[in-house]
Amino acid sequence: MSTKTPSRLEKILAAGHMAVTSECGPPRGSKGEVITKKAEMIKDYVDAINITDNQTSVTRLCSLAACIRLKLMGVEPILQMVTRDRNRIALQSDILGAASFDLYNILCLSGDHQQFGDSPQGQNVFDLDSIQLIQTVRYMRDEGKFLGGDDIDQPPKMFVGAAANPFADPFEIRVPRLAKKIAAGVEFIQTQCIYNLEKFELWMKMARDRGLHEKVYILAGVTPFKSAGMAKYMKNRVPGMDVPDEVVNRMSGVPKEKQPEEGIKICVESIQRLKEVEGVKGFHVMAIEWEEKVLEIVEQSGLYPRPKIE
C-alpha cells in the first residue's frame, strides 16, 4: 500500500512489517520528565507510542503536550484524542496544534464516561462521536478544510487510527462497526486487549470474509497481567473486557511471586499465536505503569529489533 502521510508508523505498515506500538499514560502532575523517561525506556522496542487522553476520565497532563515532548526527543507519538471533553472547535484546534509540531498519528476515541474518573460531577461534551472524529480528521487532511467549510492554511497530515473492541456487546455488530469506521476513513486500528483468542480469531475471520483486513491495518492489543488479582479485576470490573476463566485460573494457579512472570508468558504466547492470524498487521502492547516489561515482551515475541525506516 502507498502512504499518504509522513507517519513512520504508516511507512512501516505499508512496507509490510509487523508494527509494534505501545502506550504511556501522562502523569497526574506537571512533571514532563515522567513521560520522557517512560518513552526513553521503550523507544527502541516500538515504532510509535500512544499517549492517552485523560484515560478513565482521570485528569492528567494533556496528551498533546506529552506527544510534543516525545516528538522533541525523536520518538514517534500517536495522539489519542477523545470527544468527551472538547467540542468541534477545540478538537480541530488541537489537531492543528499537533500538526504544527509535525505529529503524524492520531487515534480517534469517544472516551470513557466521566463518572469513572475524578470528576463525575463534570459536564461532558460529545459534540462528535469517535466515528465523526475520524471523518473530521480525514476531511481536514484530504479536503484541506475545516468542518465549517473554510480552507485550512497548511492542513494536518495525519495517519488516522481508531480503537476496536471485538469483545463488547452485541457481538454481531462488532464487524459491521469496524466497517463503519473504515467507511468513515480510518486507516489503522488498535484493538482492545485480547485474552479470548478464539473470539478474536472469529472476529478477524468475519472481518476477512468482508475483505476488511485489506482496507485497514489491524494492530492486535495485548496487556500482560501483573497478578491474578488484576486478571480478576479486568474480568469482572472493566466494561467490555473478555477474560476467559482458564486465563484467570492459569494466573491464580501459580504462586504470587511467580505471577508477573506468568503474565508475561501468557502475553508472549498470545502474540505468537496472533502473529499467525491473517489480517493482523502488528501489535499494540499496553503495559500501563509497567512499561519496563514492554521490552521483554517485544523481545521474547521475536519482534525485536524494530525495522529501520527514516
Partner 1 sequence: MIVAEKKPIDEIIGFVRDYRKILLVGCNECVTVCYAGGKKEVEILASALTMAFMKEGKELEVKEVTLERQCDHEYLEEIRNIIDEYDAAVSLACGVGVQFMAEKYFRTPVFPGVNTLFMGVTEERGVWAERCQGCGKCILGETAGICPISRCAKRLLNGPCGGSTKGKCEINKELDCAWQLIIDRLKELGRLEDYEELIPIKDWSTERAGGPRKVIREDLKQ
Which residue has cell 485489506? Answer: 214
Helix (H, G, I), strand (E, B), or coil: what is residue 220? strand
Between 135 and 301, name the residue whose CB sits nearer to partner 1: 135
Of 291, 242, 257, the C-alpha closest to 45 is 291
**Cell 459534540 sits at which residue?**
127
**Shortest distance (Å) from residue 300 CB to partner 1:** 28
Give the nearest distance from C-beta 238 to partner 1 in angstroms. 9
User: Are 175 and 203 contacting, i.e. CB atoms less than 8 angstroms apart?
Assistant: yes
Q: Whose Cβ is closer to partner 1: residue 71's or residue 232's?
A: 232
Record the cell numbers describing residue 16, joined without a space: 509490510
Q: Across the chain, where does the E strand assignment appear? A: 19-24, 48-51, 77-82, 105-109, 159-164, 188-193, 217-222, 280-285
Residue number, 112 or 118, with CB nearest to partner 1: 112
Q: Which three cell numbers stand for residue 275?
A: 502473529
Our measurement of the distance from residue 8's CA atom to the centroid of its chain's CA atoms, rounded to an integer in Å, reads 16
- Cβ 142 to partner 1, closest distance in Å? 16
Nearest approach, Cβ of residue 193 and partner 1 (Å) = 11
The nearer residue to partner 1, 101 or 233, going by C-beta atoms, is 233
CB-side exposure of 123: number of CA atoms within 13 Å?
6
**C-alpha cell recorded at residue 197:** 483468542
Q: How far is CA 123 from the centre of its chain?
A: 25
CA neighbours closer than 13 Å in the CB half-sphere of residue 274: 31
- Supply the minimum distance, in Å, between the C-beta of residue 179 and partner 1: 6
- Choose between 162 and 298: whose C-beta lies nearer to partner 1: 162
In the complex with partner 1, which residue's Cβ is closer, 56 or 300?
A: 56
- Tell me how far, at minimum, the Cβ of 90 lies from partner 1, in Å: 14
Quote the least distance from Cβ 82 to partner 1, whole Å.
10
Which residue, 22 or 136, has its beta carbon nearer to partner 1? 136
Coil, helix or strand for 145?
strand
Output the CA angle 188-192-194, nearest 5 degrees. Answer: 115
Q: Is the CB of 240 or the CB of 253 nearer to partner 1?
A: 240
Least Å from the CB of residue 111 to partner 1: 8
Binding site for partner 1 (CB under 8 A): 84, 88, 110-113, 115-116, 124, 126-132, 135-136, 147, 163-165, 168-170, 172-173, 176-177, 179-180, 183-184, 192, 239-240
How is residue 50 written as a grid cell? 500512544
Q: Cα–Cα distance between 240 and 192 in angstroms, integer? A: 9
